[in-house]
Amino acid sequence: MSLQGALVISAALFGVGLYGVLSQQSFVMIMMGLELMVNGSLVATAGLWLWAAGGSPKGQVLAIVIMTAMAIEAAMGFALVTTIFRSRKADITEKLRRLKL
Amino acid sequence: MTSSPLLVDIAFWFFGVMSVVTGWLVFRTDSMVRASFFLLASFLNVGVLLLLMRSEYLSLILILMMAGEMAIMAIFMLMFMMNPAGLNPMNMVHQHRAAVAGGIAAFVALAGIGLVARFPDRPARPQPVTEALGKELLGDSMLVFESAGTALLATMVAAIALASSRGRYGSAYEGSDAPPLDPDTRTADAPAEPEPDEHEGHAGMEGMAGMDHGGDGGGDGGEGMAGMDHSGMDHRGMDHGRGS
Amino acid sequence: MSVTPAWAAVAGVAGAVGAGVYIAAVADRAVGATVAGERGRAGRALGGPFRAAALWLVQGRATTERPDARAWALAPALYLGLAAVAVSVVPLTRNVTAVDVDAGLVLFGAAQALAVIPVFPNGWSSNSMLPLIGAFRFIAEALSYEMPNLLALLSVSVPASSLALGDIVTSQHHLWNVVRIPLGLPLFLFAGAGLAFWGPVDLPDGADLGGGTQAETSGAHLLAWTTGRLAMLFAISAMGAAAFLGGWLGPVLPGAAWMIVKTVALLVVLVSSRHLVARVRPERYVVISWAVLIPLALVNVIVAAAVSL
């Protein structure tokens, strides 16, 4: 249990999430990948807070900001998925080749 | 570095590795339901990691938040997936090799930074974390906290504006179809018949895809959609890989 | 605060959950028989749970075509485990809490929010239609009760200015929260009934779905599932007693006795709602939750903040 360990785990989470974002076709699965990436950054933040920042509460505030970003990403992502599905019946990325309506 | 008891060490690596493995299984499993449950398992493991790293409040909030989000994902599966029950296998990936390379490259680069870079060695003292966080949020960092709250409020407004069924283009149900249960058909409502007139820009690409998927205009009894150019949004030609 | 040994905490929680489940099962039978006007059956309620458990244990387990067997078997165990986690943070007396954490209220909320995790697979993994409908119904129900539930819980932490349950009980020394924050307890109990899908809000396991998520379960599995639901009801009433009814506070009797009396009273109220209140329709439940209960819960938090100024 060390800072390096936390950073390696966070990098692995980020890498797995990036793989998912790049490889998946379904919008919902892409959002799962994004969640995993944000999750990785959360682990790194907590590790740096504990071992490199002297436990300053500002580090925890940063983690809360990251969680806010996670919530915003999920909410806006699902709203966009709903809108796109309603207007174009598209549930996978391949159906969205044109920006124009 | 602070020394930690062996048991804590083992727990740290166990939950760390489990969070990555379950995260990887999200994309390897063949059912959306299992994928979302693996995602939640990954989050729970990260929650335990945060607990071990003495961020109790963050860990509990993460678990609380993610349980709700998992539920929402299940609802979205029901809405969007062709197989909402999700026990049947399916695999929908593209650019697989590039994605694997990208993931590995990101891992190597970030882990390399983590292992090579020299970070200040300032371990946290034992202290009541949650209380300090509360004081910080309503004290020095109040602006950050309030900004996060405002951003969330803006998100709520924007998400409702986007997803509301009474949007600016009229009712969303006007011209919308049930998603197909069979991946070869366009929608559940539309009968499999060719559409007589093609719209601009589609002509060269139609081929069999147009035959398979039928016309939404036909499915709606041929009525024009007032206030919403429905047929113009119909991208039958985009279903590559099926018709062609 | 002395540190309780782990085995004592586990044994205490297990004993409390076991006793709570038994009391809930007896109360369910007694109230049901009384409402139906069958005095004789009400008299036999004390042994009823044992007879039912024995019957389920000797029954064979039916299965379906190609279920997800592991998820199916795990679901009741997880639900029971969540109930046990929820019980473990509730203090029995000033000095006796199985798991004494600073943010006990948040841990309780997290355990409740995770209830979707067992209930959904219980319906989904049997690979059958009615249980699947029940599973998706529970998700709609869970999204509806979560916000009022958490806001109702939050309101008790405002006067105590703490998330620790010990402080929350101590803050009710002069006035119980049920009087100080009058909307809190009804909101919490209604949301809690949704959590254990019991009584008027038994949408996922309702009779209109032929048993819903448990339509295909039988034998020991059904016993475990029923136990989990009753344990969750017990956790809700224990939390309600601690957060709204002043926990161990009370005259004459020792603290533990007061806590038990209050918990059992709430448990009987919750259990008998199944026999006394009509079921709501799913879509109406969702509308009530989002359009009525969430605003009420927000008002409740504001009231709590106003009275604790």
Closest CA to A91 of A99, A80, A101, A100: A80
Asked if A29 lies within 8 A of B124 by C-beta distance, the reply is no
Say if residues B32 and B47 touch (Cβ distance below 8 Å). no
- Among C64, C116, C138, the strongest candidate for a mutation testing the B interface, having the largest count of B CBs within 10 A, is C116
Residue extents of the structural domains in chain B: 1-84+105-124, 127-163, 177-244
Chain A residue with CA closest to B5: the answer is A1
Closest CA to C191 of C204, C200, C181: C200
The answer to whether C140 faces chain B, any CB pair under 8 Å, is yes
Say if residues C184 and C177 touch (Cβ distance below 8 Å). yes
Q: According to the model, what pLDDT value does residue C219 have?
A: 80
Domains and CATH numbers, chain A: 3-95 (1.10.287.3510)
Mean confidence (pLDDT) of chain C: 84
How confident is the model over B193-209, as pLDDT tens digits?
A: 454 544 444 444 433 44
Residue extents of the structural domains in chain C: 6-307
The answer to whether B70 faces chain C, any CB pair under 8 Å, is yes
Q: How high is the ipTM of this complex?
A: 0.90
Q: According to the model, what pLDDT value does residue C210 have?
A: 79
How confident is the model over C14-31, as pLDDT tens digits?
A: 888 888 888 888 888 888
Using CB atoms, which residue from C101, C132, C140 is nearest to B56?
C101
Contact: chain B with chain A (3+ CB pairs below 8 Å): yes
Say if residues B33 and B21 touch (Cβ distance below 8 Å). no
| Least confident among B163-177, B209-223, C77-91 | B209-223
How confident is the model over C117-146, as pLDDT tens digits?
A: 888 888 888 878 888 888 888 888 888 888
Tokens 């409402």 belong to which residue? C35
Question: Which band of pLDDT confidence, cut at 50, 70 and 90, is reported for residue B150?
Answer: very high
Alpha-carbon distances, residue C245 vs B184, C158, C248, C307 (angstroms) = 59, 16, 9, 17
Contacts of B119 in chain A (CB under 8 A): 3, 48, 51-52
In angstroms, rounded to a whole number, what is the distance separating the alpha carbons of residues A59 and C244?
Answer: 35
Interface A:B, Cβ pairs < 8 A: 296
**What residues are paired with A92 via a beta bridge?**
A26
The more confidently predicted of residues C279 and B152 is: B152
Contact: chain B with chain C (3+ CB pairs below 8 Å): yes
Mean pLDDT of B11-31: 89
Q: Is the pLDDT of residue B155 over 90?
A: yes
Mean pLDDT of B56-64: 86
How confident is the model over A75-94, as pLDDT tens digits?
A: 898 888 888 887 777 777 87
The dihedral sign for the CA sequence C229, C233, C236, C242? negative
Q: Provide the CA C232 distance to its chain's centre, in angstroms.
A: 3
Q: According to the model, what pLDDT value does residue B226 have?
A: 39
Asked if B74 lies within 8 A of C140 by C-beta distance, the reply is no
Q: According to the model, what pLDDT value does residue C101 have?
A: 77
Contacts of B6 in chain A (CB under 8 A): none
- Among B64, B81, B110, the strongest candidate for a mutation testing the A interface, having the largest count of A CBs within 10 A, is B110
Q: Min CA distance, C99 vs chain B (Å)?
A: 14
Asked if B152 lies within 8 A of A68 by C-beta distance, the reply is yes
8-state DSSP, C266? H
Q: Is the pLDDT of residue A40 over 90?
A: yes
Q: Is the pLDDT of residue B46 over 90?
A: yes
In angstroms, rounded to a whole number, what is the distance separating the alpha carbons of residues C44 and C31?
Answer: 12
| Least confident among A42-51, B16-25, B56-65 | B56-65
Q: Min CA distance, A56 vs chain B (Å)?
A: 8
Contacts of A75 in chain B (CB under 8 A): 155-156, 159
In B76-224 the beta strands, taken as DSSP E runs, fall at 166-167, 170-171
The more confidently predicted of residues B119 and B19 is: B19
Contact: chain C with chain A (3+ CB pairs below 8 Å): no
